[in-house]
Structure 1
Amino acid sequence: MVTRRNFLAYTSFSMALAALGLTPEALAAQRLKLGKVSAFSFEWLVQLAETQAKSPFIPPETVPENILANINYDIYRKIIYNPDYALFGKTASRFPVTFFSVSGLHHTPVKMSVVENHLAQEIIQDIGYFSLPNKTPGVLPKIKGNVFTGFRVLENQQVLETHPDKDWVSFLGASYFRAVGELGQFGLSARGIAINTVYNGEPEEFPDFTHFWFETPEGDSNRLVVYALLDGPSICGAYRFVLQRTKGVVMDVDCSLFLRRDVGRFGIAPQTSMFWFSKIAKGSASDWRPEVHDSDGLALWTGHGEHLWRPLNNPLQIQVSAFSDNNPRGFGLMQKERNFNAYLGSVGYERRPDLWVETRGEWGEGSVQLVEIPTDDEIYDNIVAMWVPKEPAVAGSQHQFSYRLHWLADEPFPSSLARCGATRLGRGGNPGAYPPSGVRKFMIEFSGKVLDELPVDAKPEAVLWASRGSFDGVKVEKSPGDNKRWRAFFDLHSQGKEPVELRLYLKNAEKTLSETWIYQYLPFESSPRPLQGI
């Protein structure tokens, strides 16, 4: 335990501490040891990233794995961070911050600093800030130096004392971070950057956030500002995150990126999620639950204003889809199915958040790229969505992006047209007849005010397109027993095993009624699946 007297004896920077606003009383309350004072600004951080990118990459120091071998996943989940050492704990700040320790899973420490009035002090890390519950087998190893691998932002000061694991934002591992949505559940993750994700056989690169700076909040603010330095073999970058607790979570992100070497697939604002199976297609007896996924589709709002909905697949082999655009308005991985009975499990898939990227400024030409990787278990993240600029990402180039991340229960800017609902696949042909080869039946649901207000005698049409094959049995009807939904049916005739790209929307006369459903049909999807993930 660090007493007030010992802490004050620790540092001789009393005048600088006063400039930081860290009075002896505040220091005694938070009890964290702090290092020397230095000037700080986001502009300085950007300059640091630019300068560092001109030098060879130096891998960060790690704690030897043999020292951490006993801290397995089960032990790691039980490690307690002493709330007495929370950053912004027992102060007027609304959101206290605690830290994650090194473990057998995460053995690269990250520097942490606190900022106020453009002055920064690094937090002196100590394994003594952590402990294990009584009667828990094993002990934390004696480690000197940095031991923090990430951080979590808690809901309030009371939660710090009663439920210290109830965070609304956490950053942990490489450049990964996540937040709860408005339904109070974690799910998919975001990343600072994606480098060469499934690109021409090259190994994917996972740059690290190597240093975080926390701006001291002003009183009971509903936001927290965090800065980060990103570093990896191909890139160095400066990030500013403005974290806001709303009905869900909103994050404003500004980043300046500097490339050390050429990058083949340069993924901006990447998201990582899990999709095993849904109502669209499920292997026989693969699991007792009807659906298992953190996200079930990719939504896009294009630069020319079209809303697209692309249900996800769990393919037999890696698939990469690119949706070309110019200055996209937004995109994100969504969890559209919100009914518990669709999942029947106990881990809250129906409450998993959507993550929407709202672009800011001019992003130019490029594509939203969707990577789908085979998996046969829910423990693997196998879905990635990201923006990839058309301009080549070459060594020595600089890139600036600004965007807002919305962690919610639905798109923040939904289409005013009817929206896509469930997609279901079945055996093609007529009931009772022997199923013809190469024929698959599709049913897509739509709902929305524009359909509710149609005249009684209106007969909406399905406008269809396929990259190959032909259609028959096309019809649109109001869903029986549910006057709020319409559904479109068609049979797709296609031979061979190559994917078929599909597009569909509803119209009445010359009036467009719905957003556009797009899908990649995989004719070979009923075969056994290999175990993969990312």
Structure 2
Amino acid sequence: MPSRRDLLASLLAAPAALTLNRTALAQGSPLQAALAAVSDGQAISRDALLAFAREVSRNPYQAPRADIPRSLQQLSLDQYRQIRMKPDQRVWAGENRGFTLDLLPAGNVFTTPVTIRTVDGGIIRDKRFQADQYDYGQTAPLPTEIQVPYTGFRAYAGLSSGTPADEALVFQGASLFRALARGQVYGVMARGLTLNVAEAQGEEFPSFRSFWIERPGPGGTSLVVHALLDSDSVTGLYRFSLRPGDSTVCDVEVTLFPRNDLQHVGIAPMTANYLFAPNDRANVDDVRGGVHDTQGLQIWNGNGEWIWRPVTNPETLQVSGFVDQNPRGFGLLQRDRRFEAFNDLDARFERRPSVWIEPLGDWGQGQVQLVEIPVNDEFNRNILAYWRPRTPLARGGEHMFTYRMHWCWAPPERPPSAMVVATRTGRAQGGGRRRRFLVDFTAEDFGDREKSAGLRANLTNQRGRVGNIDGRLVPDLKLYRVAFDLDPEAANQVELRLVLEKDGQPQSETWLYRWTP
């Protein structure tokens, strides 16, 4: 009989390996029994999936292994992307289920195998690679007898028509996944979990190892995906319930089973690229007005305060923490939806989704953490945001988080008062490191001078010196602009805070900014 370590190494590999071990599974360890309950031919059960994840966490972690043909590993990314399931061969094609699935084989950099099972009529069914189900574009077709591991899947739904022909969701690569609302193109990506981001010991990258995808009912409008995540330090069981539309909503339930005490864990993480924007164009020589998936981080904290923090492409790694208790929401947003703001016919940055996280239930004390990493191109994802619990997640415990993700044009909730619509910076008079800032707020009431009478800008700075502060109402634009100069003096980091007030009460969201050279 295989050892527990050998079984753990193989249990999440190709489904064929699981089938070969069925005899041993019926007789062996608790891990074998747990696996048998969530494999081919078994009825789906949330309790069985939890028991399986729990038992996996009690065993030493084994990295996934797979034999991948060299020809697939040597494909360019463009060549690999041409390999797709034929539309009539996709899972549930022609069944009027509201969704179809394209199962993604290994190739290019995607070499971590995952097990994919569907749940048909409540019964788990393993999915196995069949070469003749795929179009290969300009790449030579694979022999029909070859077996290639899967590395993820793509879900199609009827976002623009009544048939499931539009990409709505992709899981592929470590714990990465992304979704779209109607009319959008891919931008911000989510992760299942982050561990030890920007820590001296190095970041750990958990991966989704197995998926159970429930077949929707006739004319289905939601897709349910169960997933097992695993890494050296933690095992996790996830349940995703996706509802695509004008705003695509995904409810996420997470249960984590740490193998070690998790000192720095990121819940509901999301990552984006940001190269430059009007607030950050130093040394930029580009015909485009901006290059980014996201303009900033918005937070609705537990005290009810709305915060807007524009992101930057800094010269050095920057980590910011926004301490909170029971946050109401946070997300990476693309606020400017004008084509002219970007002027890129290929990338279409104005159509990239905002991602808003709505915690469900109390998350306790912690902080929304923002990481900004310097980059020189637009292809590396250098912005990361997530919730970091204050208390470490204890080894041997079970830790649950539930949240709702909105892949949207704008979050379902918005500040009841004025919002920031633009942040711009440039060289100020006087030379040196002095900077000029323009921060524009908008609100319906700004179109009426009488209603907006008495507004003032409350600007504070942690270091350096601010001056030439000018707040000006522009009724025909429904705009209130605050202009000011910053002299950082000897400081290499200055925290700025700006809010519009009237009679001592806030009339806008809070603008926060970190200036660095």
TM-score greater than 0.5 by the shorter chain: yes
Q: Report the AA paired with residue 363 of structure 2.
A: W
Change (3 A) 1:327 1:115: same
Task: State whether residues 159 and 181 of structure 2, in contact with CA within 8 Å, keep that contact through their aligned partners in structure 1.
Answer: no
DSSP 3-state at the match of 2:51: helix
Q: Report the AA paired with residue 239 of structure 1.
A: Y
Q: Note if 1:354 corresponds to 2:349.
A: no
Task: State whether residues 42 and 227 of structure 1, in contact with CA within 8 Å, keep that contact through their aligned partners in structure 2.
Answer: no
Of stretches 324-333 and 253-262 in structure 1, the one that deviates more from structure 2 is 253-262
Give per-residue Cα distances to partners, 1:410-435, cap 9 Å, x unaligned.
12100110001100112224xxxxx1
Residue 466 of structure 1, CA deviation: 1.2
Of stretches 278-287 and 419-428 in structure 1, the one that deviates more from structure 2 is 278-287
Give per-residue Cα distances to partners, 1:342-371, cap 9 Å, x unaligned.
111111101111000000001000000001
Residue 66 of structure 1, CA deviation: 3.3
Structure 1: how far apart are the matches of 2:207 and 2:298? Answer: 28
Residue matched to 2:337 = 338
DSSP 3-state at the match of 2:55: helix
Residue matched to 1:532 = none
Structure 2: how far apart are the matches of 1:99 and 1:79? Answer: 10
Residue matched to 1:128 = 132
Residue matched to 1:42 = 46
Task: State whether residues 182 and 407 of structure 1, in contact with CA within 8 Å, keep that contact through their aligned partners in structure 2.
Answer: no
Q: Report the AA paired with residue 176 of structure 1.
A: L
Task: State whether residues 126 and 147 of structure 1, in contact with CA within 8 Å, keep that contact through their aligned partners in structure 2.
Answer: no
Change (3 A) 1:99 1:137: closer
Residue matched to 1:519 = 513
Task: State whether residues 109 and 146 of structure 1, in contact with CA within 8 Å, keep that contact through their aligned partners in structure 2.
Answer: no
Question: Superposition pairs for residues 312-391 of structure 1, below 5 Å?
Answer: 312-346=311-345, 347-391=347-391
Task: State whether residues 253 and 404 of structure 1, in contact with CA within 8 Å, keep that contact through their aligned partners in structure 2.
Answer: yes
Give per-residue Cα distances to partners, 1:118-175, cap 9 Å, x unaligned.
4212112233332313xx25444778445221111112499899x96x3111111111
Residue 287 of structure 1, CA deviation: 2.2
Structure 2: how far apart are the matches of 1:91 and 1:246? Answer: 20
Residue matched to 1:418 = 418
Task: State whether residues 299 and 329 of structure 2, in contact with CA within 8 Å, keep that contact through their aligned partners in structure 1.
Answer: yes
Residue matched to 2:116 = 112
DSSP 3-state at the match of 1:315: coil
Aligned match of 1:100 in 93, 98, 104?
Answer: 104
Aligned match of 1:155 in 151, 157, 162?
Answer: 157
Change (3 A) 1:232 1:441: same
TM norm structure 1: 0.85
Change (3 A) 1:240 1:319: same
Residue 512 of structure 1, CA deviation: 1.8
Residue 501 of structure 1, CA deviation: 0.9
Residue matched to 2:221 = 222
DSSP 3-state at the match of 1:496: coil
Structure 2: how far apart are the matches of 1:383 and 1:36? Answer: 40
Question: Superposition pairs for residues 417-496 of structure 1, below 5 Å?
Answer: 417-429=417-429, 435-453=430-448, 455=450, 458-479=453-474, 482-496=476-490
Question: Superposition pairs for residues 20-39 of structure 1, below 5 Å?
Answer: 36-39=40-43
Q: Report the AA paired with residue 331 of structure 2.
A: G
Q: Report the AA paired with residue 168 of structure 2.
A: W
Q: Note if 1:501 corresponds to 2:495.
A: yes
Residue matched to 1:246 = 245
Q: Report the AA paired with residue 249 of structure 1.
A: T
Q: Report the AA paired with residue 155 of structure 2.
A: V
Change (3 A) 1:519 1:457: closer
Question: Superposition pairs for residues 50-65 of structure 1, below 5 Å?
Answer: 50-64=54-68
Change (3 A) 1:137 1:217: closer
Give per-residue Cα distances to partners, 1:452-507, cap 9 Å, x unaligned.
35516713111112111222211210238x43111011222222352111110001
State how many pairs are aligned: 479
Structure 2: how far apart are the matches of 1:65 and 1:391? Answer: 45
Structure 2: how far apart are the matches of 1:268 and 1:456? Answer: 42
Task: State whether residues 117 and 212 of structure 2, in contact with CA within 8 Å, keep that contact through their aligned partners in structure 1.
Answer: yes
Of stretches 147-156 and 223-232 in structure 1, the one that deviates more from structure 2 is 147-156
Structure 1: unaligned runs, 5 residues or longer: 1-10, 12-34, 430-434, 525-534
Structure 1: how far apart are the matches of 2:144 and 2:162? Answer: 26
Residue 90 of structure 1, CA deviation: 1.1
Q: Note if 1:73 corresponds to 2:67.
A: no
Structure 1: how far apart are the matches of 2:248 and 2:168? Answer: 8
Task: State whether residues 65 and 107 of structure 1, in contact with CA within 8 Å, keep that contact through their aligned partners in structure 2.
Answer: no
Of stretches 118-127 and 396-405 in structure 1, the one that deviates more from structure 2 is 118-127
Residue 394 of structure 1, CA deviation: 3.7
Structure 2: how far apart are the matches of 1:157 and 1:335? Answer: 21
Structure 2: how far apart are the matches of 1:157 and 1:494? Answer: 49
Identity, in percent, stands at 35
Give per-residue Cα distances to partners, 1:36-95, cap 9 Å, x unaligned.
401321222112111111110011123347353332212112113123332121113011
DSSP 3-state at the match of 2:54: helix
Residue 117 of structure 1, CA deviation: 4.8
Task: State whether residues 111 and 146 of structure 1, in contact with CA within 8 Å, keep that contact through their aligned partners in structure 2.
Answer: no
Give per-residue Cα distances to partners, 1:428-455, cap 9 Å, x unaligned.
24xxxxx154432211000012433551
Change (3 A) 1:428 1:477: same
Residue matched to 1:236 = 235
Give per-residue Cα distances to partners, 1:269-305, cap 9 Å, x unaligned.
0001000000112133432212100101000000010
Change (3 A) 1:65 1:137: closer
Task: State whether residues 464 and 490 of structure 2, in contact with CA within 8 Å, keep that contact through their aligned partners in structure 1.
Answer: no
Task: State whether residues 357 and 405 of structure 1, in contact with CA within 8 Å, keep that contact through their aligned partners in structure 2.
Answer: yes
Structure 2: unaligned runs, 5 residues or longer: 1-18, 20-38
Structure 1: how far apart are the matches of 2:340 and 2:459? Answer: 31
